[in-house]
């Protein structure tokens, strides 16, 4: 279960869609990279997911470059 810290709600970062600093929600998600069913549990990686609260634009960035 994830804990939510209300102080993070004030985080701003650059939005390429809005072309300015806007408030964002940011989370880390474990995503499966392999499209194959077999051994897919070994292809999971952490991703940073950021969503602009102004326009809804969502960006994902892989956190582990192994």
CB contact burial 2-32 (16+ within 10 A = b; e otherwise): eeeeeeeeeeeeebeeeeeebebeeeeeeee
Task: Give the pair of three-digit tokens for residue 23.
Answer: 């408030």
Confidence label for 42 from pLDDT (cuts 50, 70 and 90): confident
Domain 11-34+41-62 bears CATH identifier 4.10.260 = no
Confidence label for 1 from pLDDT (cuts 50, 70 and 90): very low
φ and ψ at residue 4, rounded to 5 degrees: -115, 130
pLDDT at 6: 54
The yes-or-no verdict on residue 38 having pLDDT over 50 is yes
Q: Global pTM? A: 0.70
């Amino acid at each position: 279960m994830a804990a939510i810290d209300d102080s993070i709600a004030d985080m701003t970062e650059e939005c390429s869609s809005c072309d300015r600093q806007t408030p964002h929600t940011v989370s880390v998600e474990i995503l499966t990279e392999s499209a194959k069913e077999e051994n897919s549990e070994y292809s999971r990686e952490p991703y940073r997911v950021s969503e602009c609260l102004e326009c809804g634009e969502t960006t994902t960035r892989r956190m582990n470059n192994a």
